[in-house]
Structure 1
Amino acid sequence: MPKIVDHEARRAELARAVWRVVQREGVAAVSVRATAQEAGWSPGTVQHYFSTRDQMLEFAMETAIAAGAGRVEPLLADDAHADGDPVTAAVGILESLAPLDGDSRVATELWVAFLARVLVDERARAIENRGADELADECRRLVTSLCHPPDDEQIEFEAVRLHALLDGVSLMAVTRPGRMPPERVREILRRHVAQIASGPAPAGSRPHGVRTAVSGPRGRSR
């Protein structure tokens, strides 16, 4: 009887091998040969699934986006996580997306490496935009839970501001870790969420007509 191969599981295994290479040596070290060695496969077998380095990085980025959503889901489902406090819940979710542990840090490093390609590569742009849209939706959901009474213009503005803040601290955390260590990331997120929950910004301090969100990690697994 022929052996049944789960090709999606094998692709996911390779994506995790890419993650480990990135975590240990950085994105520049990713190659078909390095990934094959990390996974314990032959280069020819790896190329059966991904013929180029770019294809591996793209799939690893997609996996990171999905992993980020996977980290958020149990926090949404666990009512005891925040004891019913939306501020605590929001901080917990944002911390799960920030580069504060191995997986989320790798996701952010992949995102940073992807940013240059987004400018010139349509496939990379589509992957990054999908992750950014998911993060924008999550920021909007968190802000809606924090704003009382809810105001559509305030929610839209604060969601964009939260998204931009998370992108910024995540970028600094992986490119300038001495200036943005984990404890500072946590403090910035806590203070920002508390500020949103305390009420709208003073009149005239925020622009009108903000309707789009900037891109971000996904997941930012990321």
Structure 2
Amino acid sequence: MPKVIDHDQRRKEVVDVTWQLIVEGGIEAATMREIASRAGFANGALKHYFSGKDQIIKGAYERSLNNLGDRLAAHTAGKRGIEALEMFMRFTLPIDQEDATAARVLLSFWERCAFSPEIHGGYDEHLDSWKAGYLQYLAEGRADGDVLTPTPDEQLVDEIIMLNIGATVVRVVSPDHLNAHVLEAQVTDFIARLRRAE
């Protein structure tokens, strides 16, 4: 009787291996040969599970997103407006070691996005979704009377996104120049600005 293969489980194993390789040595370390070897595949067998390397890299990125999404859901449950926004900001910045590890995968994914239209569109969708979430929290905060700044919400969201991207790059490339205290202070200052009507 032929062995039954759980294709979803095998795909997950490949993504997990790829994620670990990127954490250890960046995108260059995640060669198809090394991914296959670490996942226990014969050379060329990955094609039965993924159409190419971009799909595997995308899977590693989505793994990081899903983990982050689970953590965010836990920290923002029952919260709205400025309180939810603050939690969202604090837990999307690479403050602790787990987030810093995920930042390595994100940085590798961004590099791949620059050269692959196939996965670039997926990042655009993700970014649009996060922007929509931030805009919702700001709208709730204004309705609750907590967000008083005259700065337009779209501009505030752009600032949050740029803070996130900048922090991710610095945390990976030059971690000695960025620590948890600096990032926490940035969030505290940003939230305080939202509360000022000036």
8 Å contact from structure 1 (residues 87, 194) kept in 2: no
Q: Does 1:166 align with 2:158?
A: no
**Identity percentage of aligned residues:** 20
In the TM superposition, residue 52 of structure 1 has moved relative to its aligned partner by 3.4
**Is the counterpart of residue 143 in structure 1 residue 141 in structure 2?**
no
TM-score (norm. length: structure 1): 0.72
Displacement of 1:89: 4.2
SS in 1 for 2:139: helix
- Change in Cα spacing, 1:145 to 1:9, as seen in structure 2 (3 Å) is farther
- Once the 2 structures are TM-superposed, how far is the Cα of residue 30 of structure 1 from its aligned partner? 0.6
Instruction: Determine the structure 2 residue equivalent to 1:157.
Output: 155
Segment of structure 1 superposing worse, 97-106 or 15-24? 97-106
Change (3 A) 1:166 1:193: farther
C-alpha displacement of 1:58: 2.1
Q: Quick check: 139-148 or 52-61, which moved more?
A: 139-148
CA positional deviation for 1:169: 1.7
After the TM superposition, which of the residue ranges 24-33 and 96-105 deviates more from structure 2?
96-105
Partner SS for 1:42: coil
Structure 2 residue 123 is the aligned partner of structure 1 residue 121: no
Report what 1:23 is aligned to. 23
What's the CA shift string for 1:85-124, capped at 9, x where partnerless? 9655433322322223455334432332333443442112
For residue 143 of structure 1, what is the amino acid of its counterpart?
L
For residues 71-220 of structure 1, the aligned pairs below 5 Å read 71-77=71-77, 79=78, 89-147=84-142, 148-149=144-145, 154-196=152-194, 198-200=195-197, 202=198
Deviations 1:101-151 (A, max 9, x none): 455334432332333443442112102112211221222233334435368
Question: Does 2:44 align with 1:49?
Answer: no
Aligned residues: 195
Does the Cα contact within 8 Å between 2:17 and 2:35 map onto a contact in 1? yes
Greater shift in the superposed pair: 146-155 or 106-115: 146-155
Higher relative contact order (CA 8 A, sep 6+): 1
Query: Against the structure 1 CA distance between its residues 12 and 194, is the aligned structure 2 distance closer, same or farther, given a 3 Å change threshold?
Result: farther
| Equivalence for 2:32 | 32
Q: Is there any run of 5+ residues in structure 1 with no aligned partner, and where? A: 203-222
1:101–1:30 Cα change, 3 Å:
farther
Superposed CA RMSD: 2.9
Contact 1:27–1:109 (8 Å) recurs in 2: no
TM-score (ref. length: structure 2): 0.79
More helix by share: 2
| Structure 2 gap segments, 5+ residues each | none
**Alpha carbons of 1:192 and 1:30: their partners in 2 closer, same or farther (altered >3 Å)?**
same
